[in-house]
């Protein structure tokens, strides 16, 4: 009976954390990709494999630039970017937005602090983050944040359309990775 109660409680915590609908499980191999994006209004190329050589990557998917939740989430990630950088982590946001939109969003919402890139249909499928709702344009993504460790494995997932816990959750996961690192 105690095992059943513990399992129910654990499932409740999982659902409350927003990870019950997560697309890729912790421990899964993150699909490698390269994408066009923007940082500080300038076009950049983002390559996951190259970024992982420098340290862990916070890869967060957001539905659409300049919508209220996505703008507030970008502001929160921008504010926390120095802390992520101090821990050796790279932050990149992904959406189906086009490059001109990303250039503007990278300056206005991301405050020139981190890159945003276009999530191609292949990337959206690979990370299984398509936002499949009636009336939602094709290509839009769910709001899902991943922490990918240097080995290319998913170390943390937070899937919740409410933007508010994505930054704190990914930052805590980066700190936990740092604490596990030898020496």
pLDDT one-digit tens code per residue, 133-169:
888 888 889 999 999 999 999 999 999 888 889 999 9
Q: At 9, is the pLDDT very low, low, confident or very high (cuts 50, 70, 90)?
A: very low
The CATH number of 2-180 is 3.40.30.10
Residue spans per domain, the chain: 2-180
Residue 5 has pLDDT above 50, yes or no: no
| CA distance linking residue 96 with residue 172, whole number of Å | 27
Q: At 182, is the pLDDT very low, low, confident or very high (cuts 50, 70, 90)?
A: low
pLDDT at 53: 97
Higher pLDDT, 136 or 49: 49
Angle at CA 116, nearest 5°, toward 110 and 122? 155
| CA distance linking residue 89 with residue 157, whole number of Å | 15
Phi first, then psi, for residue 133 (nearest 5°) are -135, 150
Residue 22 has pLDDT above 70, yes or no: no
Instruction: Say what the pTM is.
Output: 0.84
Phi first, then psi, for residue 137 (nearest 5°) are -60, 145
| CA distance linking residue 134 with residue 92, whole number of Å | 28
Nearest to 147 by CA among 91, 83, 81: 91
| CA distance linking residue 141 with residue 160, whole number of Å | 12
pLDDT at 179: 87
Told to judge if 110 belongs to the known catalytic residues of this protein, a careful annotator would answer: no
pLDDT one-digit tens code per residue, 64-88:
999 999 999 999 999 999 999 999 9
Catalytic residue among 70, 89, 102, 130: 70
């Amino acid at each position: 009976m105690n095992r059943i109660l513990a399992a129910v409680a654990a499932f409740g915590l999982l659902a409350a954390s927003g990870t019950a609908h997560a697309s890729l499980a912790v421990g899964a191999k993150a699909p490698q990709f390269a994408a066009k994006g923007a940082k500080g209004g300038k076009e950049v190329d983002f390559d996951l494999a190259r970024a992982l050589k420098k340290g862990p990557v916070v890869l967060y998917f957001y539905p659409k630039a300049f919508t209220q939740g996505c703008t507030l989430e970008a502001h929160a990630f921008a504010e926390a970017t120095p802390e992520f950088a101090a821990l050796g982590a790279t932050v990149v946001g992904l959406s189906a937005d086009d490059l001109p939109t990303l250039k503007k969003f990278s300056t206005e919402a991301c405050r020139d602090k981190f890159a945003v890139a276009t999530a191609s249909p292949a990337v959206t499928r690979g990370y299984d983050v398509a936002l499949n709702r009636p009336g939602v344009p094709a290509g839009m993504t769910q709001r899902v944040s991943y922490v990918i460790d240097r080995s290319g494995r998913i170390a943390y997932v937070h899937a919740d359309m409410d933007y508010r816990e994505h930054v704190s959750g990914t930052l805590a996961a980066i700190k936990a990775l740092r604490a596990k690192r030898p020496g």
